[in-house]
A and B are shown apart, each in its own frame.
Chain A
Amino acid sequence: MQEPNDKDLVKRCLSGDQKAFEILLERYQKPVFNIALRILSNTDDAADVTQATFVKAYEKLNSYDNRYKFFSWLYRIAVNTSLNLLEQKKRSDLLGDKDVSDGNRLEEELHAADRIEKLEDAILNLPVEYRVVIVLRHFQDLSYEEMGMILDLPEKTVKSRLFTARQMLRDLLINSGLLEKV
């Protein structure tokens, strides 16, 4: 049986079918959580943002314009909610709260975990507007156009920001020793 598409599920929600919203939640909970996590670098904060995102989406479902993709609309709420929370926190607190990686590893895994941690630190060290585009492109595999819709930016700006973000990330990775300069 073919899975219902997002627009049909939204229609069903608006008719009072809460089960339809549950399907949307199962479909997008993980990507929304990861967007929030990569921006905030804290699982508790990411969970709070995920909850706030879906509650807000449910409340505002009647304002969703079905000319646009549902996940673009949802991710936009997630990004904005994450950025709002970020404004309330200082960056030094962020690094102190950082708990993305699981510290309970075998020795041979520690090396890999260390590399991942350095990579996550590098992402965190990016200014937030560059961090967001890296997260959306590399962790959610979104197109420039989709990113433009989520961030409410022209495609040209999205590309420029992404290209600059990659350059900055490259420099950070080289400085951290994770990337050897050729």
Chain B
Amino acid sequence: MIDERYVELINKELDGFNTESESKELQQFLSENGEALQYYDELLRAASALKRVDQVEPPSFLKTHILNSIKSLPVPVRSGLGWMNTVLDLFRQRPSVRYGVVFASGLCIGILLFAIVGPWRRDGMPLASKVSGSMVSRTEISRLHVIDSVALDGSGFQSVFKTFQGDGNVTVECAVEADENLRLELSADPRELKFMGFNRLGGTDIDVIATGGKIVFTRTKSEHGLITFTEVASPQQPIEVRIYKEGTVVGNVSIRTN
């Protein structure tokens, strides 16, 4: 009984499909195994016998018959637009085209998903983003009831914060003047107050970031604006204000919301 591996090697040898190392391995095996050598020899002679069988010429009338049959048939054409078939052929034949199409499709889907999902996320849970726009104007603020007013002064800066009660909202007016750039953070309880918008009344045009319940002025020397929160629940917690200079807290204060 010859091992399956050598049966395969013998057959592949007949077909000329063995690698050089496989042929050497087979020759070594055959030199040591008489049964396998006999088997190989018999298969070789059978294969040689098959080579003596010539290809037969088809009948001379056959070509004419076939052409006549085809003449009565409609011309086969690819369905669809010609240019589409060219594109499809390109897609089928060129792996680089396939990879390019897949990549571009993925990119488009990603951008589409971001465009669709993005706004929902911002609405449901404020993301860090540049914000602008006003909910309460300077004129309107003058008509609102003042809840609280605090001043926060420190080395090289002065600031005032006021909270106003609106109809279902709380507005914070903040005014800061400093010798150097400061970072200003206002934190409200997101269970009670949800950020609505910021109305810049004066000062430098700097980035304002709203994330969760925190409003951040990343760096400011001069700021005057109105930050409006809508009431999610009756506000009980104060708004915490922190001022940073070069990463260090240089001032903090709480301002009432009711």
Contacts and interface: CB of A to CB of B under 8 A. Distances in A.
A134 interface: yes
A59 B73 contact: yes
Contact of B52 (A14, A15, A116, A167): A116
Interface of A: 13-16, 18, 21-22, 25-26, 29-31, 33-34, 37, 43, 46-47, 50-51, 54-55, 58-62, 65-67, 100, 115-116, 119-120, 134, 137-139, 143-144, 159, 162-163, 166-167, 169-170, 173-174, 178-179, 181-182
B57 interface: yes
Contact of B78 (A14, A21, A120, A174): A14
B66 A51 contact: yes
Contacts of B43: 166-167, 170
A179 B45 contact: yes
Given A119-B49, A134-B50, A170-B43, A62 B79 contact: yes
24 contacts: A13-B76, A16-B77, A18-B71, A25-B67, A29-B66, A34-B55, A37-B56, A47-B59, A51-B62, A55-B70, A55-B73, A62-B76, A62-B79, A119-B50, A138-B47, A143-B17, A144-B15, A159-B8, A162-B11, A166-B14, A166-B43, A166-B47, A170-B43, A173-B49
B74 to A, nearest CB: 9
Interface string B148-172: 0000000000000000000000000
Contacts of B52: 115-116, 119
A119 B53 contact: yes
A71 B225 CA distance: 79
Contact of A47 (B11, B58, B77, B79): B58
A31 B73 CA distance: 24
B42 interface: yes
Interface in B1-42: 7-8, 11, 14-15, 17, 38, 41-42
A54 B66 contact: yes
B117 interface: no
B46 A50 contact: no
Contacts of A181: 42
B76 A61 contact: yes
B65 A51 contact: yes
Given A119-B53, A166-B11, A182-B38, A25 B46 contact: no
Nearest to A138: B50
Contacts of B45: 179
Contact of A18 (B7, B65, B75): B75
Nearest to A167: B43
B63 A43 contact: no
A163 B75 contact: no
B58 A50 contact: yes
Contact of A22 (B38, B42, B67): B67
Given A51-B62, A59-B76, A65-B92, A170 B46 contact: yes
Q: Which 4 A-B pairs have the closest CB atoms?
A: A33-B58, A61-B76, A138-B50, A163-B11
Contacts of A26: 63
B11 A30 contact: no
A26 B62 CA distance: 11
B8 A21 contact: no
Contacts of B76: 13-14, 58-62
Nearest to B70: A58
Contact of B59 (A22, A43, A162): A43
A137 B15 contact: yes
Nearest to B14: A166
